[in-house]
Amino acid sequence: MRPVQVPDEHRAMVRQWCARRVPEDQRDQLRISYTERAGRITISARRAPVFPELGTGWTTEPIAQLRLVPHEDRWILLWPDSSGRWHRYPDETKAGSPAPLLDIVDADPTGIFWG
């Protein structure tokens, strides 16, 4: 079985979206980043420690996941529950690129991504 490859232009789209999500002057406290593995792009919020003098590191909380369905060349959107399991976004959205799904995460009409 061949590993799923994310197209470079889709990866760039997610990277740029993450960079735009947090204003420059707030990046010392909050960053939006992503990791990629086997056709899955997990978007996370990284927060600076509340008490840096205690030496704790940044925390990472998953926000959303985009999965490439290889036999369909489509992306699907998932959200994490409190136990870390992933669930399909309610309206069964599929898209040919991550852009429309990132728009849904941005708008967060259901409140499941940003609270």
Helix pair 99-107, 8-21: axis angle to 10 deg: 20
* Domain boundary assignment for the chain: 8-107
Q: Please check whether residue 73 is in contact with residue 44, taking contact to mean a CB–CB distance below 8 angstroms.
A: no
> pLDDT 10s digit of each residue in the chain, 115 long?
567 889 999 999 999 999 999 999 999 999 999 999 999 999 999 999 887 777 778 899 999 999 999 888 899 999 999 999 999 998 767 899 999 999 999 999 989 999 7
